[in-house]
Amino acid sequence: MGKVAPIVLALLLALGSALAQTSHDRHAMHEQQPSTAFGRQMAAAMMKMHEDMSAPPQTGDADRDFLAMMIPHHQGAVDMARLVLIYGHDPLVRQLATEIIAGQQAEIDAMKARLEVLKAGPNPNPDNFPAIEGTRGGN
């Protein structure tokens, strides 16, 4: 558990930095105006992801706030990977996109379940985090 807190803190700091760039990123995206349907849809997916990440109100509970922001971040990855399946042709990139969708969806489901537990109050069974085995190095 001692290693988890610094990792979560580092992720929150990185996320905060990313959110601080949101208005700059939106401005830059509008300037670039992608010329392809894929480019326009990717830009829209990224904008939606950034907006959805900054939408949840901050509760002051790092665990809940982290999950509330990471769920749309992972959903953004799913949405972008789906666009690769629509427009992409390379079989290895398409395979990677398929794996991203499966892995990120499993993590989204686990984060949503844990967020509901944390919203209900103190958890009497903190080791009962939903398993996400099969993704990110799990078995």
Give residue 108's pLDDT band: very low, low, confident or very high (50, 70, 90).
Answer: very high
Give the tens place of pLDDT for each residue, 80-101: 999 999 999 999 999 999 999 9
Is there a contact between 41 and 54 (Cβ–Cβ < 8 Å)?
no
Tokens 């610094």, residue located: 6
Question: What is the per-residue pLDDT for 131?
Answer: 55
pLDDT of residue 46: 95
Quote the pLDDT of residue 112. Answer: 95
Higher-pLDDT residue of 119, 19: 119
Total-model pTM: 0.68
Residue ranges and CATH numbers for the domains of the chain are 4-119 (1.20.1260)
What whole-number distance in Å separates Cα of residue 139 and Cα of residue 35?
42
Per-residue model confidence as pLDDT tens digits over 4-58: 555 555 555 555 555 555 555 555 555 667 889 999 999 999 999 999 999 999 9
